Amino acid sequence: MEGLATGRERAARFRALFEDDWAFREWYEGAVPRVYGYLFDRCGGLRTVAEELTQEAFIEAVRHRTRFDGRSDPITWVISIARHKLADHYRRLAREERRNLRVVSGPPAEEGRADQWDSTESREVVLHALRGLPAMQRAALTLHSMDELSVGETARELGKSEAAVESLLSRGREGFRRALDKMREETEDA
């Protein structure tokens, strides 16, 4: 029962923030960098997208603050809302890409190559490579690899079957590898 009381107390303290402008502002100013930081890399380093999704997450949190049950830290709760906003963002991008009929294909993967997802040279290279992927592949890779969600959890977040997510991950990894290879070739040629 103590855990429940702690959760209830946490939820009550969170709701009380909304009754005191100064307390809410102080909490908000501390929470924004954490939520934004969570989203920034997962958006491929696109500042405007991370800012927009951060704003949407806080609007949703304020709108539904009575749903916060105190089982987690309020910032963790807002980050979970941000994760849903990110998945929604990638679904929107995927719909737009389908409308534009952007089909990208490339040569089959070479056998025996190391998975470059885990061995990238720099953050900027990774972000650039991610930005080049179709939205749903990017979403699957970021949720699965960066958030360490299982395939099943990633499928639930994206509203896809596990088989569809496996396919997205496979194609996303290959596209990611091709982008890294291309960047390396350009660097070597320079």
Structure tokens at 30: 């501390």
Domain spans in the chain, listed from the N-terminal domain onward: 1-101, 104-190
Residue 69 near residue 9 (C-beta atoms within 8 A): no
Q: Say if 1-101 and 104-190 have the same CATH topology.
A: no
Output the pLDDT for position 104: 33
CA–CA separation, 90 and 156 (whole Å): 14
Output the pLDDT for position 119: 40
CB 18: neighbour CB atoms within 10 A? 13
Residue 162 near residue 152 (C-beta atoms within 8 A): yes
Output the pLDDT for position 116: 41
CA–CA separation, 114 and 125 (whole Å): 17
Q: Please report, for residues 66, 110, 177, 183, the alpha-carbon distance to residue 113 in angstroms, rounded to integers and kept in the order given.
A: 50, 6, 10, 16
Question: Is the domain 1-101 a CATH 1.10.1740.10 member?
Answer: yes
Predicted confidence (pLDDT) at residue 61 exceeds the cutoff of 90: yes
Q: Out of 67-71, 93-97, 157-161, pick the least confident.
A: 93-97
CA–CA separation, 50 and 176 (whole Å): 21
The CATH number assigned to the domain with range 104-190 reads: 1.10.10.10
Predicted confidence (pLDDT) at residue 25 exceeds the cutoff of 60: yes
Q: What is the mean pLDDT of residues 83-109?
A: 65
Predicted confidence (pLDDT) at residue 33 exceeds the cutoff of 90: yes
Phi then psi for residue 115, to 5 deg, are -70, 110
C-alpha dihedral (57, 62, 66, 71), degrees to nearest 10: 50
**Which one has a higher pLDDT value, 123 or 94?**
94
Predicted confidence (pLDDT) at residue 163 exceeds the cutoff of 90: yes
CA–CA separation, 139 and 169 (whole Å): 9
Predicted confidence (pLDDT) at residue 128 exceeds the cutoff of 60: yes
